[in-house]
Amino acid sequence: MICPLPHELGDVVTLAHGAGGRAMRGLIQHIGSILGPAATTHDGAVLPTDGPIALTTDSFVVDPIEFPGGNIGHLAVWGTVNDLVATGARVQALTLSLIIEEGLPLAILDRVLHTIAATGVPIVTGDTKVVERGRGHGLFVNTAGIGREELALSPAQINVGDAILVSGDLGRHGAAIMAHRMGFQTALESDCGSCLPLLDVLAPFAPTCLRDPTRGGLAAVLGELAGPHDIVIEQLPVHPSVSAVCEVLGLDPIHLPCEGRMVVFVPEARALAAEAALRELDPAACRVGTVVPGAGRVWLRDAYGGDRLVDVPLGAPLPRIC
């Protein structure tokens, strides 16, 4: 159900909405009407736990706030849910903090809030602040999440010989955003979505480590996790539209962020079976590489029998003409 904007809130967020008075109460009540009362009525939430819990937090800034295939609300929920999956945990609850730039149209805020509500992930407490125009990029969102640990995962468990799998094709989020920003039209959408189903699918195969390839893409994740070994990437699943974006703008799919994918390290003995299980969820899932003896470098095997070193760029990928 879409809750209509109360007339008295106005069209845009103003500093009054963040000032602690009646305008703010009105905004908070409106947010609570969309996310459920728990999100806004108490200073904190008290939750039952049993066993080890995982805790993670992430902040989200994206331009544009609404992009092909989603909005910052999707990223804020699934980003933290997926970070919990990467620690082997199933999300129990999220906090939601909003820093809103004055002048943000309330209609946009509403669409983001409805997106968050529609994920079904419980938002049990939160906070709202409003900042002066020019300081907020429209909207900053932070979510913190707790979850019960189901899989024991750690980079320390990665061994030489482990297989590296991915749960789907790569780079859709980064390619969709970059294409849109550079004035291209494409049916390609962000892959932002939940990796929760992977906890059940992967449990029988006892993976050693999971990581979601967000900023910096697969290259960044593997660069972080390779040491003390080397990693050789043998193939990359890339959708033809993502390839087209990369060729036209001079980008490398290995550097593009995904928002609904997981990189999975699993011992060789269980790799084929794990890959088959991942394919049931997404036919593009596949093995991409192997952990080999080395010193923390990541190699990409080319089609001509050679290996090329994969760099992690200093900053965000930039389109080029040269």
Partner 1 sequence: MKTLQPWRDPTAVRQLAHTLGTVTRGSWRIMEVCGGQTHAFVRFGIDRLLPEGVELLHGPGCPVCVTPAGVLDQAIALAVEHDVLLCTFGDMLRVPGSHTDLLQARARGAHLQVVYSPLDAVALARKHPDQQVVFFGVGFETTAPTVALAIEAARASGLDNFSVLASHVLVPPALRAVSSRVDAFLAAGHVCTIEGMAPYHALSRELGLPIVVTGFEPVDLLRGLLECVRLLEEGRVDAFNAYPRAVRPEGNPTARAAVARAFDTTDQPWRGMGTLPDSGLRLRDPAFDAAHRFGLAPREGRDDPDCLAGEVLQGLRKPTECPAFGSRCTPDHPLGATMVSSEGACAAYWRHRRHSGAPA
Partner 2 sequence: MCLAVPGRILRITPPTPQQPLPMGQVDFGGLEREVCLACVPDATPGTWVLVHAGFAIQTLAPEDARQRRDWMGAE
Where on the chain is the footprint of partner 1 (CB under 8 A)? 182-183, 230, 232, 240, 243-244, 247, 249-250, 292-295, 297, 299, 302-309, 311, 314-315, 318-322
By CB under 8 A, tell whether 188 contacts partner 2. Answer: yes
Q: Residue 232 touches which of partner 2, partner 1, none (CB < 5 to 8 A by kind)? A: partner 1
Whose Cβ is closer to partner 1: residue 80's or residue 241's? 241
Longest Cα separation, the chain = 68
The answer to whether 274 touches 205, Cβ cutoff 8 Å, is yes
By CB under 8 A, tell whether 51 contacts partner 2. Answer: no
Q: Residue 306 touches which of partner 1, partner 2, none (CB < 5 to 8 A by kind)? A: partner 1
Torsion angle of the four alpha carbons 299, 303, 304, 307, in this order, in degrees rounded to the nearest 10 = 0
End-to-end CA gap in the chain: 49
Whose Cβ is closer to partner 1: residue 15's or residue 292's? 292
Using CA atoms, how far apart are residues 207 and 163, in angstroms rounded to an integer? 10
By CB under 8 A, tell whether 320 contacts partner 2. Answer: yes
Q: Residue 186 touches which of partner 2, partner 1, none (CB < 5 to 8 A by kind)? A: partner 2
- Sheet order of strands, 209-211 included: 209-211, 263-266, 163-166, 286-292, 230-233, 298-301, 307-309
By CB under 8 A, tell whether 61 contacts partner 2. Answer: no
By CB under 8 A, tell whether 240 contacts partner 2. Answer: yes
By CB under 8 A, tell whether 304 contacts partner 2. Answer: no
CA 182 from chain centre, in angstroms, equals 22
Give the total of residues touching partner 2 (CB under 8 A).
19
Whose Cβ is closer to partner 2: residue 119's or residue 243's? 243
| Element (DSSP H or E) covering residue 163 | strand 163-166
Whose Cβ is closer to partner 1: residue 195's or residue 251's? 251
Min dist. Cβ of residue 282 to partner 2 (A): 18
Residue labelled with tokens 């706030």: 65
Q: Classify residue 311 by its DSSP letter.
A: P
Of 270, 236, 265, 269, residue with least CA distance to 253: 236
Min dist. Cβ of residue 183 to partner 2 (A): 6
| Element (DSSP H or E) covering residue 86 | helix 72-86
Whose Cβ is closer to partner 2: residue 72's or residue 246's? 246
| Element (DSSP H or E) covering residue 219 | helix 217-225
By CB under 8 A, tell whether 156 contacts partner 2. Answer: no
Output the six-digit token pair for 288.
């991409």
Of 214, 221, 211, 220, residue with least CA distance to 192: 214
Q: Which stretch binds partner 2 (CB under 8 A): 92-100, 185-193, 203-211, 289-297?
A: 185-193
Which residues of the chain form contacts with partner 2 (CB under 8 A)?
179, 183-188, 239-241, 243-245, 247-248, 250, 320-322
